[in-house]
Chain A
């Protein structure tokens, strides 16, 4: 781990404040601002060129760096101008393979991690997003052709990478990689719960802290209980934390919250000391780590539709949300979902309260992809059915 970089991140986290949180919100001031080319005659590109690719609803097919000055998608890197309200330069070029998924851009914007595969191997690539040069690769041979890295997440400087691997029928495992010294090495792997013999049925919702020392995820594994004198399969499910402390991996430790079930981590702040999570039909909450364990949950919003997206800034002061607008259409309906974009700002005077600012605009509808720069100053929204990408902020 690069200590200087960690120190840099710490300084940034301490000194940065989301600009929105420092001023009273004024209705109408923060509006959706489509990103436009600033110098078409110099760097010609069309609106279509910023029609970012969206392969999946819930994973990273685009990403941004710490201050939102850079955006990446599968084959292009976009640099915003100094005001960061328009694209100044497009870095095109081919990645080693056409189909890449699960993009993770480092805070500095100097490295991009993603996954790809062929019929025999799954790969983790780290490239320079500006030159497309490969920095380092990692591969895992498939037992059968359908074995796949499903999700890849990374810490701030991509020195720690975490992925879920689905192999064979009904097997999942969590793999932790270290990227240091020009090599990627597997350092930890969980195939099963530490207390149980059963294999994971599912692993999902991974979030990784900036240092990479705190990893949160959900898991379920089958176990057997007796019912009416006969064996029956049930699933043990939960939200877990895996911690790297004093050169040792600790956990996974199950996180309980009284009265809540089906906890799902959404994001992490303060290097793992602040956890944004969702609980089944209980809304979205914040947990804060204290000397005595996790705090009582702080409610962010009761709107907890699974279609919603939430992103939290590195300092935990800003939470961006794309929320399905109620009433939701009935199940099975072909009617479209409409989304509202909201910001939740930490209120220093009321530590158990986040102030909500609505950025709803008639152009915000249908599915999309939400990005928040980790410094909390820039929010990007790419609606699925509209061309272009939109920037919130000033």
Chain B
């Protein structure tokens, strides 16, 4: 079989590898303080939850041609009232959606085209929640789906992303395609927000609130003189949510930020904005989104080497800045961090969108690159897998995104566990010892028996530019049952070398690749 050729070569290489002497190094594997999501009550570790999902626009919920919704801009994320991606294709592992209002009108609870009574977009939100539950009931029998509607949108006229519309009544009318006849808009922002909050707060499907998408509090906002203004707007909305949601204890407030660019999340670099972290906390949960062009500068030069390692850096930076108290930042252990991966594809001719590994993939990431981004983030503490609007993407990126979310579903029970407390170490590589990371997590559902005392999942990432062949040394009181080593899905392109004598596991892994597999530990 062709797909096993690489395994064959790895075995050949391993024969060579076994004969070589390799320096022993320090143990690998990060010790992460992570804070999983909860689907019931924020910060409730007894109800840990691994969000897996996508963003969809909400304003076309009844599909094409619905009289209340003639606007085709959302390009069919809904099919006859159901999310297109979830219809008939077995995406039973998707457990949440971020509902995107089409624009400021939607965010304010107003119908985009004003053909229905006011508040109709809120009605669409409600229908979205009901539809999602129905899909899950029909397809999997699971009544367990969460939706996160976004409360405000800051897109201003002509794409001026830093310009917020709250407290700037009238600017929303200047949007593209706005018919001039939109009047009778409630003038009170708070009135609109209260209406929406009260409308949603008792729905069990409501998972929480998305405060905003990429609020601009960073350099761009500063250059435009609106930094404090943006901050105050977010705080204003957050306060309205907190004071009007009768179930706020069950509804965490999320916010989507960009680790580089949109907001000052490094309290060491911007200590003057510590109060914002303290007062606003940006959101209870943070989602960082990573674009294709984040990895290089405008000329296509990578920020770091290897270039995909940026995802690793950003996750660790976010954990450090937002969860661990540093530089006088408020100690705050309530945040969870999640990377929000861009399923979009971008202009493959733009220098900043070059795929430095595979030029046929300029403007997007390959499946393996996307997998590495997720794995290296999960290893470093990210919790969840979310992809941005797939309708804005293409069939290729959609296919890749759903593969990764499927893997997230297979891995989530392990990723929600704390460290397996197995003191394994990487004992030799043919490369810089500091470039590989791994985690080992127990299967919480495994029941010990006379043969095996535990089952674990191991996830490894090679963060170097070179292929790495490494030995993972297990302690003598944790004997691997090599016969149980298994890739996370049957056709996984992966191989290993058992060393029964030394209780070592040999793994060969290419540059910027992530792999995960499970095995059992023999009973003592």
Are the C-beta atoms of A166 and B493 separated by less than 8 Å?
A: no
Name the contact of B347 in the complex, choosing from A170, A234, A307 (C-beta under 8 A).
A307
Q: Which residue of B lies closest to A282 (CB)?
A: B349
Are the C-beta atoms of A385 and B72 separated by less than 8 Å?
A: yes
Q: Which residue of B lies closest to A263 (CB)?
A: B360
Residues on the A chain within 8 Å of B353, using CB: 306, 331
Near B by CB (< 8 A), chain A positions 329-354 give: 329, 331-336
Near A by CB (< 8 A), chain B positions 21-41 give: none
Q: Taking the complex as formed, is B117 at the interface, i.e. its CB lies under 8 A from any CB of chain A? A: no
Using known A-B contacts A202-B366, A232-B511, determine if residue A336 contacts B350 with beta carbons closer than 8 Å.
no
Q: Mark B70-89, 1 if CB is under 8 A from A, else 0.
A: 11110110011000100111
Are the C-beta atoms of B159 and A331 separated by less than 8 Å?
A: no
Are the C-beta atoms of B396 and A204 separated by less than 8 Å?
A: yes
Selecting from A13-21, A47-55, A371-379, the interface stretch reads: A47-55
Name the contact of A306 in the complex, choosing from B9, B159, B350, B466 (C-beta under 8 A).
B350
Q: How far is the CA of A30 from the CA of B121 in the complex (A)?
A: 39
Residues on the A chain within 8 Å of B90, using CB: 118-120, 145
Residues on the B chain within 8 Å of A384, using CB: 72-73, 75
Q: Taking the complex as formed, is B393 at the interface, i.e. its CB lies under 8 A from any CB of chain A? A: yes
Are the C-beta atoms of A54 and B159 separated by less than 8 Å?
A: no
Are the C-beta atoms of B363 and A143 separated by less than 8 Å?
A: no
Q: Taking the complex as formed, is B138 at the interface, i.e. its CB lies under 8 A from any CB of chain A? A: no
Q: Taking the complex as formed, is A93 at the interface, i.e. its CB lies under 8 A from any CB of chain B? A: no
Are the C-beta atoms of A169 and B493 separated by less than 8 Å?
A: yes
Selecting from A36-44, A56-64, A103-111, the interface stretch reads: A56-64
Q: Mark B139-160, 1 if CB is under 8 A from A, else 0.
A: 0000000000000000100110
Q: How far is the CA of A306 from the CA of B353 in the complex (A)?
A: 10
Are the C-beta atoms of A230 and B466 separated by less than 8 Å?
A: yes
Are the C-beta atoms of B465 and A232 separated by less than 8 Å?
A: yes
Are the C-beta atoms of B347 and A306 separated by less than 8 Å?
A: yes
Distance (Å) between the CB of A79 and the closest chain B CB? 19
Using known A-B contacts A51-B70, A332-B291, determine if residue A168 contacts B492 with beta carbons closer than 8 Å.
yes
Q: Which residue of A lies closest to B293 (CB)?
A: A331
Q: Taking the complex as formed, is B177 at the interface, i.e. its CB lies under 8 A from any CB of chain A? A: yes
Residues on the A chain within 8 Å of B467, using CB: 224, 230-233
Q: How far is the CA of A201 from the CA of B90 in the complex (A)?
A: 25
Residues on the A chain within 8 Å of B158, using CB: 335
Near A by CB (< 8 A), chain B positions 491-509 give: 491-493
Residues on the B chain within 8 Å of A261, using CB: 359
Are the C-beta atoms of B72 and A169 separated by less than 8 Å?
A: no
Q: How far is the CA of A328 from the CA of B353 in the complex (A)?
A: 14
Selecting from B197-205, B316-324, B399-407, B476-484, the interface stretch reads: B399-407
Q: How far is the CA of A231 from the CA of B462 in the complex (A)?
A: 13
Q: How far is the CA of A49 from the CA of B393 in the complex (A)?
A: 24
Near B by CB (< 8 A), chain A positions 178-216 give: 191-192, 197-199, 201-202, 204
Are the C-beta atoms of B465 and A143 separated by less than 8 Å?
A: no
Distance (Å) between the CB of B137 and the closest chain A CB? 16
Q: Taking the complex as formed, is A218 at the interface, i.e. its CB lies under 8 A from any CB of chain B? A: yes
Residues on the B chain within 8 Å of A307, using CB: 347
Q: How far is the CA of A144 from the CA of B395 in the complex (A)?
A: 18
Are the C-beta atoms of A280 and B64 separated by less than 8 Å?
A: no
Q: Which residue of B lies closest to A383 (CB)?
A: B72
Selecting from A94-102, A269-277, A310-318, the interface stretch reads: A94-102
Interface size class of B (residues with CB under 8 A): 35 or more
Q: Taking the complex as formed, is A392 at the interface, i.e. its CB lies under 8 A from any CB of chain B? A: no
Residues on the B chain within 8 Å of A333, using CB: 159, 161
Q: Mark A286-318, 1 if CB is under 8 A from B, else 0.
A: 000000000000000000111100000000000
Q: Mark A352-394, 1 if CB is under 8 A from B, else 0.
A: 0000000000000000000000000000000011110000000
Residues on the B chain within 8 Å of A117, using CB: 88-89
Q: Mark B2-17, 1 if CB is under 8 A from A, else 0.
A: 1101100100000000
Selecting from A80-88, A146-154, A243-251, the interface stretch reads: A146-154
Near A by CB (< 8 A), chain B positions 409-434 give: 430-431
Name the contact of A218 in the complex, choosing from B2, B9, B360, B366 (C-beta under 8 A).
B360
Q: How far is the CA of A49 from the CA of B345 in the complex (A)?
A: 29
Name the contact of A262 in the complex, choosing from B346, B362, B396 (C-beta under 8 A).
B362
Name the contact of A49 in the complex, choosing from B65, B346, B367 (C-beta under 8 A).
B65
Are the C-beta atoms of B491 and A168 separated by less than 8 Å?
A: yes
Number of interface residues of A (CB under 8 A): 79
Residues on the B chain within 8 Å of A220, using CB: 358-361
Residues on the B chain within 8 Å of A328, using CB: 347, 350
Distance (Å) between the CB of B76 and the closest chain A CB? 5
Are the C-beta atoms of B2 and A306 separated by less than 8 Å?
A: no
Q: How far is the CA of A143 from the CA of B493 in the complex (A)?
A: 14
Q: Mark B378-408, 1 if CB is under 8 A from A, else 0.
A: 0000000000000111111011101100110
Using known A-B contacts A201-B366, A202-B366, determine if residue A98 contacts B80 with beta carbons closer than 8 Å.
yes
Q: Which residue of B lies closest to A232 (CB)?
A: B466
Q: Taking the complex as formed, is A5 at the interface, i.e. its CB lies under 8 A from any CB of chain B? A: no
Q: Taking the complex as formed, is A70 at the interface, i.e. its CB lies under 8 A from any CB of chain B? A: no
Are the C-beta atoms of A99 and B87 separated by less than 8 Å?
A: yes
Q: How far is the CA of A103 from the CA of B407 in the complex (A)?
A: 29
Q: How far is the CA of A171 from the CA of B1 in the complex (A)?
A: 13
Are the C-beta atoms of A150 and B87 separated by less than 8 Å?
A: no
Q: Taking the complex as formed, is B510 at the interface, i.e. its CB lies under 8 A from any CB of chain A? A: yes
Using known A-B contacts A98-B87, A331-B298, A384-B73, determine if residue A151 contacts B358 with beta carbons closer than 8 Å.
no
Q: Taking the complex as formed, is A139 at the interface, i.e. its CB lies under 8 A from any CB of chain B? A: no
Residues on the B chain within 8 Å of A224, using CB: 467
Q: Taking the complex as formed, is B180 at the interface, i.e. its CB lies under 8 A from any CB of chain A? A: no
Q: Taking the complex as formed, is A138 at the interface, i.e. its CB lies under 8 A from any CB of chain B? A: no
Using known A-B contacts A55-B75, A99-B84, determine if residue A170 contacts B489 with beta carbons closer than 8 Å.
no
Are the C-beta atoms of A231 and B466 separated by less than 8 Å?
A: yes
Q: Mark B304-319, 1 if CB is under 8 A from A, else 0.
A: 0000000000000000
Residues on the B chain within 8 Å of A197, using CB: 2, 5, 9
Distance (Å) between the CB of B516 and the closest chain A CB? 11
Residues on the B chain within 8 Å of A332, using CB: 261, 291, 293
Are the C-beta atoms of B489 and A168 separated by less than 8 Å?
A: yes
Name the contact of B403 in the complex, choosing from A46, A169, A199, A385 (C-beta under 8 A).
A169
Are the C-beta atoms of B2 and A167 separated by less than 8 Å?
A: no
Are the C-beta atoms of A144 and B406 separated by less than 8 Å?
A: yes
Q: Taking the complex as formed, is A235 at the interface, i.e. its CB lies under 8 A from any CB of chain B? A: yes
Residues on the B chain within 8 Å of A53, using CB: 64, 75-76
Q: Taking the complex as formed, is A222 at the interface, i.e. its CB lies under 8 A from any CB of chain B? A: yes
B→A interface (CB under 8 Å): 2-3, 5-6, 9, 64-67, 70-73, 75-76, 79-80, 84, 87-90, 92, 155, 158-159, 161, 176-177, 261, 291, 293, 298, 345-350, 352-353, 357-363, 366-368, 371, 391-396, 398-400, 402-403, 406-407, 430-431, 465-467, 489-493, 510-511
A-B pairs with beta carbons under 8 Å apart, 22 shown: A46-B65, A48-B67, A55-B76, A56-B393, A58-B394, A98-B88, A99-B87, A101-B395, A143-B491, A151-B396, A168-B491, A168-B493, A169-B489, A170-B366, A197-B9, A199-B2, A202-B366, A220-B359, A237-B358, A306-B349, A306-B350, A384-B75
A→B interface (CB under 8 Å): 46-49, 51-59, 97-99, 101-102, 117-120, 143-146, 148, 150-151, 166-171, 191-192, 197-199, 201-202, 204, 218-220, 222, 224, 227, 230-235, 237-238, 261-262, 264, 280-281, 304-307, 324, 328-329, 331-336, 384-387
What 9 pairs between A and B have smallest CB-CB spacing? Answer: A119-B90, A335-B159, A168-B491, A306-B348, A235-B358, A334-B159, A231-B467, A306-B347, A48-B65
Q: A145-B90, A218-B360, A336-B176 are in contact. List 14 more A-B contacts (CB 8 A).
A: A48-B64, A48-B67, A57-B345, A101-B395, A119-B89, A151-B396, A169-B493, A170-B371, A199-B2, A220-B358, A232-B466, A262-B359, A280-B348, A280-B362
